[in-house]
């Protein structure tokens, strides 16, 4: 049996770091904050690895099936009988896998930041935020209760907000962090309502119980919930779809992806941790966590998941080919890769061989975390050296940054799906799953993987080759960055190169039974060839400084322009928010309140005042007027009493 205390310590250690550094960091640990944070996380990582070892090799497997353990269900908030938020820990293959990924990448980023963020004024604040993020992410991963997941979901959202806005005096960073928070918040609204729908139907918030109750089609729960329909879809379909909206927002799926490229305003290690490796895959994790519900009860929603994933993948890949900001290219590439994971889930089915998409998705999540974190950290090293994000300011850096160069190349090969690097294996499995279930998605995926190779190597060549004499002043350029920055690069480089050899299907599958991955050599020819073609194209266009790329862009004309402007999706959002929400809803609401509602109140006041003004005139002080009123009154009353009210 797993040890609850050990596992609970994994998220609590970063939390301790957050509290310690957040409350006292600026005064007590101004210099040592980084080391404290890193040490705590190192401990957490060791515990996570230990847990993984224990789970996968000691107690996890019973009768050849990996079990699901739920520990430590502390009632946090009870709503009504049977429905309460219980803080618990769920231990199953994917949560353990995520534990390892999150702690490991976070540790790498902690170490890397020791060098990257050195001399920063709010150094300890930075580490406390990192601690908060890691805590929330681990909490999310371990959540056994759907509302617990939502709580930590919001927690990662806010730590992402804080870290994007870390350079708070930069207006673009402020705008980016607001955008990120609001867009994901919008998606969270869907998640929240989805939780309400599903939990009401199932009568529980516990994920295990919820899945169990919602996946047996004969049960009364499912029958009543299906009978209740709204706008032509059953309650469960709505619930699952709304939950997926939450996941799509956090995972930057089209059309809720607009925050991710802007989020690159944050410090680069943060981008590596949050916006590449861990937080953005939370949506994938969410769908995976509730996968039985999606696949058994609402297959229609799962299909939507697949298509959204595929669409996001290719859209992001096309946009990534045109961007010149190194971090934005990586951001779109992240979105594209998450699209892969999503549609892998989308094409998967529950159980056995048909569930290979699920395994592939998780596998890709794992490898992607390695090579994408590596890419970002490498980019960070480049930016650290050049002090610019734009690839036009770079070129020929392979001589100045040898270690970065090699590791970046490994990561590029991995993401491009060139064997034997990590990306090859996971991507191959995804393509295989798509091929078996949905040919249209397969073709999209195939094209996307070609594009991926192209834009990644465009980036690679533009940074490390191209211009031999870079434009930046060589005098200011120092060394490659310290040991702190290079160590994570090397470690992640090893991971990116070798992670593919892990027999992932052995450990992670939808029903816990081992799944043997069948990499088919014949099948691999097409994607690998496409990848190589992409690399060749990038080599031809970008290895040397030339105007081929400009000519190509010109020949593509409108399409290039549209892709360069990210298909104007930002502009559409801006139109909706500024023109419709602000000018058509908020402004009239404010006006209505000040003028109509408040006007009515003031009108009551002024009308009473006017009435009293009128009555005041009657009280004129003129005796004769009084006498006339009096006389008239007497006569009228007398006449009334005599003739009418006899």
Partner 1 sequence: MNLLLLIGLPVLTALAVLLSRNKQQVKWISLLGSLAQLGLAIALLFAFRQERAANNTAQMLFEQHYKLFAALNINFHIGVDGISVAMVLLTSFVVMAGVLVSWNIEKMTKEFYFLLILLALGAYGFFISLDLFILFFFLEISVIPKYLLIGIWGSGRKEYSANKLALMLMGGSALILVGILGLYFTAGHSFDLLSLSKTNIPGNIQHIIFPFLFIGFGVFTALFPFHTWVPDGHSSAPTAGSMFLAGISMKLGGYGCLRVATYLLPEGAKEYANIIIILSAIAILYGAFATMMQKDLKYINAYSSVSHVGFSLLGIGMLTQTAITGALLQMVSHGLMTALFFAVIGMIYDRTHTRMVAEMGGLMKVMPFISTVFFIVGLCSLGLPGLSGFVAEITVFMGSWQVDDTFHRIATIIAAMSIVVTAVYILRAIGQTVMGPVKNENFLQLKDATWNEKWAAIILVAGIVAIGVAPGWLNNLLRPAAQVIMDRISGK
Partner 2 sequence: MLAPGLYHILFISAALFFIGVYGFLTRRNLITMLMSIELILNSVNLNFIAFNKYLWPQKMDGLFFTVFIIAIAAAEAALAIAIIINLYRSHQSIDVGNAEDLKY
Partner 3 sequence: MNGSTVIFYLLAALTLVNGVLSVSTRQIFRAAIYLLFTLIGIAGLYFWLNYQFIAAVQVVVYVGGIVVLIIFSIFLTQQAGEKLQKQKIGRKLFAALAVFCGFGLTIIQVYQHAFYEPAETGVPVSVAAIGQKMLSMNDEGYALPFEVVSMLLLAAMIGCIVIAMKEKKITDNEPGTSSPDHTGKE
Q: Which residues lie near partner 2 (CB under 8 A)? A: 619-624, 627-628, 631
Q: Given the complex with partner 2, which of 23 and 628 has the nearer CB atom?
A: 628
| DSSP output for 354-423 | GGHHHHHHHHHHHHHHHHHHHHHHHHHHHHHHHS--BGGG---TTTT-HHHHHHHHHHHHHHHT-TTSHH
Q: Given the complex with partner 3, which of 522 and 644 has the nearer CB atom?
A: 644
- Which of the choices partner 1, partner 3, partner 2, none does residue 639 contact, using the CB cut-off of 5 to 8 A by kind? partner 3
- Which of the choices partner 2, partner 3, partner 1, none does residue 620 contact, using the CB cut-off of 5 to 8 A by kind? partner 2
Q: Given the complex with partner 1, which of 197 and 459 has the nearer CB atom?
A: 197
Nearest to 18 by CA among 101, 139, 193: 139
Q: What is the sign of the dihedral through the CA atoms of 105, 111, 117 and 121? A: positive
Q: Given the complex with partner 3, which of 520 and 632 has the nearer CB atom?
A: 632
- Which of the choices partner 1, partner 2, partner 3, none does residue 384 contact, using the CB cut-off of 5 to 8 A by kind? none
Q: How far is the CB of 209 from partner 1 (least distance, A)?
A: 16
Q: How far is the CB of 607 from partner 2 (least distance, A)?
A: 23
Q: How far is the CB of 632 from partner 2 (least distance, A)?
A: 10
Residue 343 contacts residue 307 (beta carbons within 8 Å): yes
Task: Give the residue carrying structure tokens 């059309």.
Answer: 255
Q: How far is the CB of 589 from partner 1 (least distance, A)?
A: 4
In whole angstroms, what is the distance from residue 330 CA to residue 272 CA? 10
The token duo for 273 is 């941790």
Pairing verdict, β 69-80 and 65-66: unpaired
- Which of the choices partner 2, partner 1, partner 3, none does residue 619 contact, using the CB cut-off of 5 to 8 A by kind? partner 2
In whole angstroms, what is the distance from residue 153 CA to residue 284 CA? 13
Contact residues toward partner 1 (CB under 8 A) are 26, 75-80, 83, 147, 150-152, 154-155, 158, 165, 168-171, 174-175, 177-178, 181-182, 185-186, 188-189, 192-193, 196-197, 199-200, 230, 582, 585-587, 589-590, 592-593, 597-598, 600-601, 605
Burial class of 398 by CB neighbour count within 10 A (0 to 12, 13 to 18, 19+): middle
Q: What is the sign of the dihedral through the CA atoms of 346, 352, 356 and 359? A: positive
In whole angstroms, what is the distance from residue 8 CA to residue 100 CA? 14
- Which of the choices partner 1, partner 3, partner 2, none does residue 79 contact, using the CB cut-off of 5 to 8 A by kind? partner 1
Neighbours of 324 (CB within 10 A): 15
Q: Given the complex with partner 3, which of 77 and 634 has the nearer CB atom?
A: 634
- Which of the choices partner 1, partner 2, partner 3, none does residue 554 contact, using the CB cut-off of 5 to 8 A by kind? none
- Which of the choices partner 2, partner 1, partner 3, none does residue 623 contact, using the CB cut-off of 5 to 8 A by kind? partner 2
How far is residue 450 from each of residues 123, 220, 551, measured CA to CA in Å? Answer: 41, 48, 21
Q: Which helix (H) or strand (E) holds 90?
A: strand 83-91
Which phi and psi (to 5°) does residue 29 adopt? -115, 45
In the chain, DSSP finds a helix count (H) and a strand count (E) of 28, 6
Q: How far is the CB of 572 from partner 1 (least distance, A)?
A: 17
Estimate the crossing angle of helix 123-142 against helix 4-28, to 10 degrees: 160
CB-based contacts of 24: which residues, under 8 Å, 6+ apart?
none
| DSSP output for 461-500 | HHHHSS-SS-SS-TTT---S--HHHHHHHHHHHHHHHHGG
Q: How far is the CB of 635 from partner 3 (least distance, A)?
A: 5
DSSP 8-state symbol, 281: G
- Which of the choices partner 3, partner 2, partner 1, none does residue 193 contact, using the CB cut-off of 5 to 8 A by kind? partner 1
Q: How far is the CB of 626 from partner 2 (least distance, A)?
A: 9
Q: Given the complex with partner 1, which of 253 and 492 has the nearer CB atom?
A: 253
Q: Given the complex with partner 1, which of 182 and 634 has the nearer CB atom?
A: 182
Which phi and psi (to 5°) does residue 90 adopt? -110, 130
Q: How far is the CB of 617 from partner 3 (least distance, A)?
A: 16
Q: How far is the CB of 629 from partner 3 (least distance, A)?
A: 10
In whole angstroms, what is the distance from residue 24 CA to residue 304 CA? 48
Q: How far is the CB of 620 from partner 2 (least distance, A)?
A: 6
Q: How far is the CB of 635 from partner 2 (least distance, A)?
A: 10
Q: How far is the CB of 154 from partner 1 (least distance, A)?
A: 5
CB-based contacts of 345: which residues, under 8 Å, 6+ apart?
284, 287, 288, 291, 294, 302, 305, 306, 309, 357, 358, 361
Q: Given the complex with partner 1, which of 35 and 77 has the nearer CB atom?
A: 77
Q: Given the complex with partner 1, which of 69 and 181 has the nearer CB atom?
A: 181
Q: How far is the CB of 437 from partner 1 (least distance, A)?
A: 34
Contact residues toward partner 3 (CB under 8 A) are 624, 628, 631-632, 634-635, 638-639, 642
Q: Given the complex with partner 2, which of 5 and 620 has the nearer CB atom?
A: 620
Q: Given the complex with partner 3, which of 585 and 635 has the nearer CB atom?
A: 635
Q: Given the complex with partner 2, which of 586 and 634 has the nearer CB atom?
A: 634
Q: Given the complex with partner 1, which of 519 and 589 has the nearer CB atom?
A: 589
Estimate the crossing angle of helix 282-289 against helix 123-142, to 10 degrees: 20
- Which of the choices partner 3, partner 1, partner 2, none does residue 632 contact, using the CB cut-off of 5 to 8 A by kind? partner 3
Residues 66-90 as b/e (b if ≥16 CB within 10 A, e otherwise) read: bbbbbbbbeeeeeeeeeebbbbbbb
Residues 190-217 as b/e (b if ≥16 CB within 10 A, e otherwise) read: bbbbbbebbbebbebbbbbbbbebbbee
- Which of the choices partner 1, partner 3, partner 2, none does residue 58 contact, using the CB cut-off of 5 to 8 A by kind? none
Q: Given the complex with partner 2, which of 521 and 623 has the nearer CB atom?
A: 623
Q: How far is the CB of 137 from partner 1 (least distance, A)?
A: 14
Q: Given the complex with partner 1, which of 78 and 468 has the nearer CB atom?
A: 78
Q: How far is the CB of 203 from partner 1 (least distance, A)?
A: 10
In whole angstroms, what is the distance from residue 303 CA to residue 319 CA? 24
User: How far is the first Cα of the chain from the last one, in angstroms, to the nearest whole number?
Assistant: 100
Q: If DSSP codes are grouped into helix, strand and coil, which group holds residue 240?
A: helix
């Amino acid at each position: 049996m797993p040890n609850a205390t050990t596992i609970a310590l994994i998220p609590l250690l970063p939390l301790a770091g957050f509290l310690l550094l957040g409350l006292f960091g600026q005064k007590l640990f101004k210099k040592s904050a980084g080391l404290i944070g890193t040490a705590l996380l190192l401990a957490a990582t060791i515990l996570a690895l230990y847990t993984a070892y224990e789970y996968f090799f000691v107690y996890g497997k019973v009768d050849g099936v990996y079990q699901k353990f739920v520990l430590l269900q502390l009632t946090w908030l009870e709503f009504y009988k049977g429905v309460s938020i219980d803080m618990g820990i769920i231990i199953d293959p994917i949560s353990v896998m995520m534990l390892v990924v999150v702690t490991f990448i976070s540790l790498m980023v902690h170490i890397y930041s020791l060098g990257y963020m050195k001399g920063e004024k709010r150094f300890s604040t930075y580490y406390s935020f990192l601690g908060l993020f890691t805590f929330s992410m681990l909490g999310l991963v371990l959540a056994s209760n759907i509302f617990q997941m939502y709580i930590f979901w919001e927690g990662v959202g806010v730590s992402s907000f804080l870290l994007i806005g870390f350079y708070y005096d930069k207006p673009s960073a402020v705008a980016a962090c607001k955008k990120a928070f609001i867009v994901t918040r919008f998606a969270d609204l869907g998640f929240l309502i989805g939780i309400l729908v599903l939990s009401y139907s199932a009568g529980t918030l516990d994920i295990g119980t919820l899945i169990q109750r919602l996946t047996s089609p004969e049960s009364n729960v499912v029958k009543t919930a299906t009978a209740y329909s709204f706008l032509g879809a059953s309650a469960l379909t709505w619930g699952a779809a709304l939950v997926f909206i939450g996941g799509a927002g956090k995972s930057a799926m089209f059309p809720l992806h607009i925050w991710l490229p802007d989020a690159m305003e944050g410090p680069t290690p943060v981008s590596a941790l949050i916006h590449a490796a861990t937080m953005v895959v939370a949506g994938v994790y969410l769908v995976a966590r509730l996968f039985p519900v999606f696949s058994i009860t609402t297959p229609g929603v799962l299909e939507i998941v697949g298509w959204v994933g595929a669409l996001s993948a290719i859209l992001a890949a096309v946009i990534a080919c045109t961007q010149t900001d190194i971090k934005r290219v990586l951001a779109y590439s992240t979105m594209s890769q998450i699209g892969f994971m999503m549609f892998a889930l989308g094409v998967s089915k529950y159980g056995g061989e048909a569930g290979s998409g699920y395994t592939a998705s998780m596998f890709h999540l794992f490898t992607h975390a390695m090579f994408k974190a590596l890419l970002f950290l490498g980019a960070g090293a480049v930016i650290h050296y050049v002090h610019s994000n734009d690839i036009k300011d770079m070129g020929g850096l392979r001589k100045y940054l040898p270690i970065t160069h090699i590791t970046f190349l490994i990561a590029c090969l991995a993401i491009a799906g060139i064997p034997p690097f990590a990306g090859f294996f996971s991507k191959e499995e995804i393509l295989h799953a798509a091929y078996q279930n949905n040919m249209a998605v397969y073709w999209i995926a195939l094209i996307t993987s070609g594009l991926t190779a192209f834009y990644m190597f465009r980036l690679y060549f533009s940074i490390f080759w191209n211009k031999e004499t870079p434009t930046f002043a060589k005098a200011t350029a120092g060394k490659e960055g310290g040991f702190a920055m290079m160590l994570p690069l090397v470690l992640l480089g090893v991971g990116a190169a070798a992670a593919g050899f892990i027999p992932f299907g052995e450990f992670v599958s939808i029903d816990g039974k081992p799944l043997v991955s069948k990499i088919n050599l014949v099948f691999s020819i097409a994607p690998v060839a496409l990848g190589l073609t992409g690399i060749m194209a990038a080599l031809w266009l970008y290895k040397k400084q030339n105007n081929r790329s400009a000519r190509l862009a010109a020949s593509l004309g409108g399409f290039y322009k549209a892709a360069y402007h990210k298909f104007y999706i930002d502009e559409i959002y801006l139109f909706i928010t500024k023109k419709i929400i602000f000018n058509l809803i908020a402004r009239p609401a404010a006006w209505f309140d000040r003028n109509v509602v408040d006007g009515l109140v003031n009108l009551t006041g002024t009308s009473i005042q006017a009435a009293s003004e009128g009555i005041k005139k009657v009280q004129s002080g003129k005796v004769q007027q009084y006498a006339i009123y009096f006389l008239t009154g007497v006569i009228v009353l007398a006449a009334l009493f005599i003739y009418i009210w006899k």
